[in-house]
Structure formats: C-alpha cells, structure tokens
Amino acid sequence: MDLSTILTFLIFGLPLIGFPFVIGIGYIKKNYSMYLGTALIFFSFLITLYLFFSYTVNGTVIQYSFNWLPSLPAIIPLGVYADNLSMIMALMVSFVGFLIILFSVGYMKEDPNRHVFFGEMVLFTSSMLGLVLASSLLMLFIFWELVGLCSYLLIGFWHYKPNAASAAKKAFIVTRVGDVFFIAGIGAAILYSSGGALSISGLGAIHLEWQRTIVALLLFGGAIGKSAQFPLHVWIPDAMEGPTTVSALIHAATMVTAGVYLMARVYSIDTSLLTPTALTVILYVGVVTIILSGLIGLVVNDIKRILAYSTIGQIGYMVAALGLGLGVTSIGLSIYQLEAHAFFKALLFLAAGSILHAVMNVRDINKMGGLWKKMPVTVTAMLVGALALSGFPGFAGFFSKDSIITASYGVSVFAWSLLAIGGFLTTLYAFRMFFKVALGKPRSDPAEHAHESSWIMLIPIVILAAFSAIFGIFQQGFYDFVENKPVTGAFGIAPLTLTDMVPVILMLAGMGIAYYVWGRNSTIPQKVTSGASDFYLLVKNKFYLDVFFTNVIAERGVIGLSAVSDGFERKAIGGLVDASGKLFQNSGKVLRKIQTGLARQYALIILIGLILALLLLRILMLSGVIH
Amino acid sequence: MIILGNYDYLWNVFVLFIGAFVALFVSLVTENRIVLVTIGGIFAAASLILSLLQGSTAVSIGNGTILLSGFSELFFIAILVPGLLSLVGIAKSPVSKKPGLMIFIFLVSLGFMLLAITTHNLLFIFVAFEGVSIPTYVLAAYGKSDSELEAAVKYFIIGAFSTGLIVFGISLYYIATGSLMLGAAPSFQNIYFLAMGLLVFGFGFKLAIFPLHGWAIDTYTGTSNPISSYLSTSSKIMTLVVLFNIFFNSPSFFPYLKIIFAIIAILTMTFGNVVAISQNNVKRMLAYSSIAQAGYLSVVFLAAGTGAYNLAVISLFMYALAYGFMKGGSFLALDSLGNYDIENFSGMWKRNPVFAISFAILLLSLAGFPGTLGFIGKYFLFLSVLSTGTPLAYLVVIVSVINSVVSFYYYGRVIMYMFWRDGKKERVPNNYLLYTSALMTVLLGVLYFLVYAFAQNIIPTIAPILVGGL
C-alpha cells in the first residue's frame, strides 16, 4: 500500500471514523461539532484535490483491494478504485459537500440537535465518497445503503413534524424498491461472470448478450430508485421536509447522482455492457422523466418542490445522455451534466434556503414576491442559478444540457425533439419560480420583513454562483479527462453546431413567455387552468402516481400480503417458538435438581459418565463402525 | 535424560515466579493491597509482553519436553490476558486481609499454567497441572467465608478424584506406548484407548464439561469474583489447550475422539444453557453459561486430523480471547454489586448507564451477537469445524447454533432488567475492568481481521511440530 492508496482510503475513512466524534463532542459544546464536522469534510476535500492533481499529472489509476472475510472460499474484494470517473465524482462530492456543510453552520446554528445533524451530514458525505471510490459492487452496495440510511435520518431530522417523519419513511421505502433490483443485479452479475464481477473491473467477464441486458436492467432498477427516475421519483418531492441544506446535499450533489454514477461506472468498464435494448430503456426512462417532471414543476407552488421536480428532470438528462449509447462520449456528457447540475442546483437550493430563512419558512411562492430588493445577493444568485438551469448561453447548463440535446440528434430525432421540449419546460418552471419570488410586491407579511442572510451563508452561495456561471469553460477539458483522452488544456468549450440553436431559441422563448405570464400581474394562469382543467388536474395530482402507489400497491397489495404472513407468523411460527421456550424452561427445572450441592454425588456422576464413555469406546471398537 | 537448554525462551514464565516471590517479600513490609496488586500486575504484564515478543520461531527445550512455538505463544496470550484482568480485579474485591500471599499463589499458578501448555511430556503436564490445581484450591478458599470454604472443598474433592484418574491414565499410557512423550505410537491399542478415555475425564474436570461440571457451578458461585473469573477463564483455557496438545498428537484415537467430544459438546452446551434459563441469581447464571461455553469450546476437537487444523487453532485462539474478556469481565463486574439477584440489576440504565451498556455488550458477546468478538470467535470456530464436512460436524454445529439462540433468552433477560425495569435507585460504582473488557470485545470484534492476521502470521510454525502424525 503506497501513500496514494492510503490517502484514497482516508478520503472517506477520515469522516467515517470521525462522525461519532462529531456527535460525541457535541455533548460538551454543541458548536464544537459544527467546527469538527466542517473540518473533517474540508480535509477530505483537500486530500481529494491533491489526489486529483497528482492523477492529472501521472495518470495512474489507484487500485487496491483486500479480501474481506478471508475464511470464506470466495474472494470478496473490498478496497478502492480511483480512476478518472471516480476522481471527478469524489472531487465534486467533497467540494459541494464542504460548501453545504459550511452553509449549514449558519443555517442550523440555532437548532438544539445540531450536533446530531452535523454527525449525520459527515457520515453521509463519507458514505457517498466511499460509494464513488469503491472497488467492488458489494462495497458499493454497502455504502449505497449507508447513503440511503443517512438520507432517511436527515430527511426525518425534524422528526417531530409528522410530514418529515412520513417523508423519511417514504424515501426509505421507495429507494428500497430500487435496492431490491440493485442487489438482484449484483447477484446476477456475479452469477453470470462466475464470480468475476465481485470486483467492479471484473464486470466485463459477462459474455452473453441476454445476460448483459438482464444485469444492466437490474442495476438500472437500482439507479432508478436512488436517482429518482420515473416511476420511482415520488420520494424526492416529499423529502423536501428536511432542512434545506439536506435537500441541497442529497438532491443536488450527492445521493441522487449515485444511480447515474453507478450506470456510468458500469458503462465505463466495458461499453458493450449496456446492450442496445438496455440503452433504449435507459434513454426513454430519462426522456419520460424529463417531460413529466417539467409539467409537474409548472403547477407546484412550494419553492423546494419546484426545485425537487427540476432535479428529477435534470437527472433525466444525465440518464438520457447515457442512454444515447455513444460510448465514452455519453459518459462525458452525462458526468459533465452531473457536475454542472451539482453546482447550479446546490446554488438554487441554498438560495432557496436563504430565502426561507428570511421569510420564516413560508414555502409557497405565491406568498413571496419583491424579494430582489430585500435580499439582493441571494436573489441575484438565484437568477444565476435559474439561467444556468435553463441553459442560457454562457452559463453552465447551456454547455451541459444543450450538448446532450445536440448529441441526441444523431441518435434519434424523436428523442431529440422530446429532450428539446424538456428544455423548454425547464425554462418555463425555472423562471416562473424566479419571477414569482423576485418581482412584484411582497404578497405576505413575512416577505414584507425579509432581510439578507448572514455572510457565512452567503459565501457558499456566491462561490456556487460563480461556478455555475463559469463552469462552461471547463467543458472540453472535462470531456477529455472523463473520456481518458490526453487533456489538451483544462479550459475550452466544445464547438457549437446549428442544431444547438433550437434549444437556445426555445429557451429564450420560454423566458419570454414566463415573464409575460408570471413576471407581471396577469390572469393568464387562471385562464389556462380553467381552459384545460382535465389536463391541469392530471398534472396537479402528479399523474396519480402517488395515489397509485399508496392505494393500489401499498394498501391493497402489500398490506394485504403482510396481514396474511403476519397471521402465519403469529400462529405457526410464534406457537412453535413459545412451545420450545416452555419446553426448555420446564426441562431446566428438572435438570436443576441434579445440582444437589453434594460433592460425593458429583464424583459419582463423573464416575458414571466415565464408565459410560469407556463402554461407548469399547462398543465402537468392537463394532468397528469407525476406522 | 532431560537436558535443559534454551531456557532463555521461558523468561515469560520465570518473571511470573520472580514476581510471586517479590510480592511475597514485599508483603513482609506492607500489606497494602494496591501496592501488592500493582507488583503482581506489573509482572503479569511483563510476562504478557515477553510472550508477545516471543516471535514465532519454534524452540525445543529438553529433548522436546517443552515445545515453544507460535501455538504456545497464542495461548500464552489467551491465558495471560484474563489472568491479568482477574489479578487486577483482586484490588477491588473484598477478599482478604493478606493480599501478599494471595498474589504469590496467584502468580505461581499462572506460571504453571504457561508451563502446562508448553510441555509435551505427560509427567511434566501432570506436575504443571497440579501446580495449577493446588494454588487454585487455596485461592478458592481464600476469603474464608462459609460459601468460599464450601466452594473450595468441593473443588478440592473433585480435583483430587480427577488427579487419581489422570495418574491412572498416565500409567496406562506408559504401558501402552512405553513412553511418556505425547504422540508416541501405541503398541497396545486397547490399553491406549482406555488411557485416553481416562485422560479425557481426568483433565476435563477443570474444563467443566458435562458429567464433570458439578463442582464448577458451586465453586464459581461460591468464591470471590476475581477467583471465579480466574477459574472460569485462564484455568479453563489452559485445560483446553492441554487436552488439545494430548489429543491432537494421538492420530489413532481421532475417530473415537470426535464421537466422544461430539457427545460431550452437545450435552455440555445443552445442559448449561437449559439450566441457566431458570436461574435468578446472575452469578449462578454466569456459572452455568460458562459450562455452556465449555461446550462450544470443545467443538474444536471435531477438527482433529483434518485440513481445517490451522483454521481451528486460529479460531480457538480468537474464541478463547473473546471468552477471557467476556467471562472475566462479567464476573469481575459483579464486584460492583453486593447481591447478585437479578432484581438487583433492575434500573441499571438509570443507575449507571456505562455499566449497563458494558455489561449488556458482554452478555451479547457471550450469546454470540454479531459485531462482538464472541460472535467472531464462534463464527470461525463453527466454520473450521464445518469445513471438515462430516455429518457429525454438521450435527454438532446445528445443535450449537440452536443453543446459541436459546442462550439469548437468559442473557436477554438480564439486559431487559437492566434497561426496562425500574427498581433499585442507588448508584452503582464504576468498574473499569468491565469497561475495558467490553471495549476490547467490541473493538476486537470490529477489527477481528487484525487478530486473525496476527494469529495467521504466527501459526505456520506450529504445524510441523505439533501435527507430526497428520
């Protein structure tokens, strides 16, 4: 094990070991845990940065595995695998994680349980880093579950709010559905590769086409749950009940991208692992998610839920980019969108958090308005975020998202048109939100008395805004890095083509429409809702997916099934356990009686035992049963 | 003709004897318990350090009478660690007014324990074994209360009886093989087997396996806590290793050995667990549970003569280490309480949360709860036996696992009293030996691969010496 391997372990090991101390030190003084937690993530970030630069210089993939459970016949490798994909993910996770935990120092400073919060945040970040650096699917799965656990804990952090508690449960259960697919996928991969796929780099040992399709689709099932794609996206909007920084961390930078990372990881091992069938499924799941979430985003009024639906849609672009099946180019497109999205979505969430902090947690955008004057820095940063999100030329989203749309033109014109419409919808909801928040007059009392947040909350916002604005200049260098080409230079923008103009025109049109409809006093929204009331209701009810899951699957299916098995459990198994317990208890009472306390009796028992044993020996010898 | 050489390698034994006399002479000047225990502790710790430093080279002293190897090093550690815990426990325990003599006896017996597991000559084993027995009779009686005297007398009577069996067994062994060295090939099979059967019963009494368990319950319950801890850990592990040395060197006895120990293991663990269920006195419950644990430990004999040998030794070491911590720690924990009735544990969570958590950890480890060293030891032990693949092994392991499940009932009952019953209110003093044991159980349970790697590094040297017959 050389230094770089140890450092790679430390990236996630340091916060993983440190998180109990973060919570523990909080019992001495609550604020200490804030400082310790921030410091831990900062160190992780520094180590990642160092490894990232040393990787760009010498380009050696850090690979180290040891055998977990050496007693088992199979070799189960655990360890680290850090290539360009893992590096860039780790860098993003630790950097955005650091900014968000810094923001939390201001945001959570009055919460009585903040030491627990920081402990959970540190654990979350470390598990996410472990996830991207894992060398085997099994280890990836362990961290995947840890991430799920932390998100459950963090979403339910304000557990005294019934909404938060049920949202946490919903997130946990829905992602669990995906995890079933994931673990089945791991099993299938190991089976089909005859054990080779225990370590990630052995995935290529699956040879048959149909086997690859099955493995790819099962793993994608896991990714759907974690990355909130249709139809398992339903948990994210409810998860907005957690503290806003949690939303930013989980829903922008980290947890939701785990699924995309998983698919990219698989795809990067061997581009033929995702077969054409699997690619088509992946592409259209992404496209459907984009359109659905864009539509729903237009009718929701809760500022955090708008961002949640926007997250779902943006991840849809990442998934669709992988589904285009362009090999390493797809990975480059997808991961670049992932990183850009991490910055501008974290920015939007933090800006929203800053606004909510100012308006006493009133989350309805209809009750805001006129905030640009009251909190100029935050709302300007939000404008940057909205521009980046909708892909205004020059901002991050333009380079990341529009590149995907352009690339899809060569694959399928149908998909291209849907992706472009998705971009249009994105612009509409982004600017609907922005105009309602920023312009007009304050529409409620808290909005009237809003004021700018403290500097510690503004610093991360400004940094993220800067990144969202200029991230495009890294585009070419980024693609080269992810695609493992010789990097010509860190800066550079991929050349634009004519088809690029379509999304830009749609985007500008969307901005105009948004201003026309929501940026000033107008009655158009009411007219549209009453004009197309059926469609409006369908979208407003989120396409009845939640109702379907709750009423049909959960209440009719799962609860019915569990009632049956509960009866079986109580009557059959419970009866058996009770009976055996009673048997043991009664025989205990009997056997106890031979413990008389008389030493001579003990000696007698020994003697009888000895005679019996010798007799047994004699019988065995005579009968010759054993040789 | 016995030629002593290489005795430098036995310094870890010598320091114990030296320490014993130092303690004795210091006690002429002062009878301060803390001072004397510190002296004893320093020498025992020195012995532990010397054992750790011993290295894995195989050394033969006196024509193979004493064989030092990685094997003996492992079990030096497994014996010295709980020995040290019990020794330090004397400092707190209200045992006697004359601790100097007690430390002297304690260290002498500890020294003989180390000798007993290294010798490969039956006569030496016998002497060393008696060198352990006689001091421990005295230790058991040391407090001079009625219960302690009763405990000691029973221990002594059964011990003397077993000594008779051992002597008889050794003489038959000599008749059968014409040698007192272990691993001698028998000329008379029948007498040899008779000798082996006698040795199982003679030596087995200290291990408290099923028909030989009677004294153990009364003695463990009756004597003071450090001595209960000492008798049920160090002394038991020593006996197990002695039996291991004897039987793993007698290949022609293997098939019978397996059947006998399969029966003994099943009976022992079932008996211990079943009776422990109906105990209301926690110390007595722990005594029964240590019978059950002896059953789990003796499962290891099923690995005799198979390729699972190395794994069996490593896992026996891990389980012995775990056993030392959890049994030693739980007996020593009782010193913080005046009365061992289970009612007296109620409300522990409010009276001293650290105590409650630590004690619960030890109980869970005894039951084999994942995440503790007890689980790891049991897991590897069963795994090594299972890897022999015989139906007998499967039967024994299945029974063991069922027994582990049953044991959750009575361990869990104490935990339930500690956490969910309100009762007593008075505070319980801190018990740092308990905390140390609990911490080590969890720490080594999590970092078990370090223990495993440590044992694995040492082990290659044992195979050629010990298992010549394989």
For chain A, which residues make up each domain, given as ranges? 344-532, 541-590, 594-627
User: Which carries the bigger pLDDT value, residue A221 or residue B96?
Assistant: A221
Residue whose entry in the numeric block shows the structure tokens 């794609």: A229
pLDDT confidence of residue B19: 92
Asked if residue B233 belongs to a domain, the reply is no
Model pLDDT, residue B20? 92
pLDDT of B147 reads 80
pLDDT at residue B79 in the model: 93
Tokens of B289: 């549970």
pLDDT, position B453:
83
Q: What is the pLDDT of residue A150?
A: 85
Which residue out of B153, B200, B275 would a mutagenesis test of the A interface target, given it has the greatest number of A Cβ atoms within 10 Å? B275
Contact between residue A11 and residue A129 where contact means Cβ atoms under 8 Å apart: yes
Give domain status of residue B117, yes or no.
Answer: no
Tell me if A371 sits within 8 A of A437, measured CB to CB: yes
H/E/C letters for each residue in chain B?
CCCCCCHHHHHHHHHHHHHHHHHHHHHHHCCCHHHHHHHHHHHHHHHHHHHHHCCCCCEEECCCCEEECHHHHHHHHHHHHHHHHHHHHHCCCCCCCCHHHHHHHHHHHHHHHHHHHHECEHHHHHHHHHHHHHHHHHHHHCCCCHHHHHHHHHHHHHHHHHHHHHHHHHHHHHHHHCCCECCCCCCCHHHHHHHHHHHHHHHHHHHCCHHHCHHHHHHHHHCCHHHHHHHHCHHHHHHHHHHHHHHHCCHHHHHHHHHHHHHHHHHHHHHHHHHHHCCCEHHHHHHHHHHHHHHHHHHHHHHCCCCCHHHHHHHHHHHHHHHHHHHHHHHHHHHHCCCCEHHHHCCHHHHCHHHHHHHHHHHHHHHCCCCCHHHHHHHHHHHHHHCCCCHHHHHHHHHHHHHHHHHHHHHHHHHHHHHHCCCCCCCCCCCHHHHHHHHHHHHHHHCHHHHHHHHHHHHHHHHHHHCCCC
Q: Does some domain include residue B385?
A: yes
pTM: 0.59
Chain B residues in contact with A602 (beta carbon < 8 A): 154, 158, 214-215
- B94 or A319: which leads in pLDDT: A319
- pLDDT cut 70: percent of chain B above it: 95
Residues of chain A with pLDDT under 70: 1, 69-74, 247-249, 251-253, 485-498, 519, 521-522, 524-525, 535-536, 539-543, 546-562, 565-574, 576-577, 580-581, 584-585, 587-597, 624-627
pLDDT > 80? residue B151: yes
Mean pLDDT, all residues of chain B: 86
Give me the total of CB pairs closer than 8 Å, taking one residue from chain A and one from chain B. Answer: 90
Q: Among B198, B278, B383, whose Cβ lies nearest the Cβ of A585? A: B278
Q: Domain count of chain B?
A: 1
ipTM score of complex: 0.71
pLDDT of residue B265: 92
Which tens digits make up the pLDDT trace of B326-368?
Answer: 999 999 888 888 788 888 888 888 888 899 999 999 999 998 8
Q: Using pLDDT thresholds of 50, 70 and 90, give the confidence band for residue B320.
A: very high
Q: pLDDT at position B360, please? A: 92
For residue B1, the model assigns a pLDDT of 40
Of A581, A595, A609, the CB nearest to B409: A581
- Which of chain B's residues have a Cβ under 8 Å away from the Cβ of A585? 277-278
Q: Which of A527-536, B318-327, B387-396 has the highest mean pLDDT?
A: B318-327
Query: In this structure, is residue B437 part of a structural domain?
Result: yes
The answer to whether B190 contacts A600, with C-beta atoms less than 8 Å apart, is: no
Of A70, A584, A616, the CB nearest to B452: A70
- Smallest CA–CA distance, residue B274 to chain A, in Å, is 5
The alpha-carbon gap from B466 to the nearest alpha carbon of chain A, in Å, equals 22
Query: Where in the sequence is the domain holding B420, given as residue range(s)?
Result: 252-470
Of A585, A608, A609, the CB nearest to B277: A585
Lowest-pLDDT choice from A486-495, B175-184, B245-254, B383-392? A486-495
Give B211's contacts in chain A (Cβ within 8 Å).
605-606, 608-610
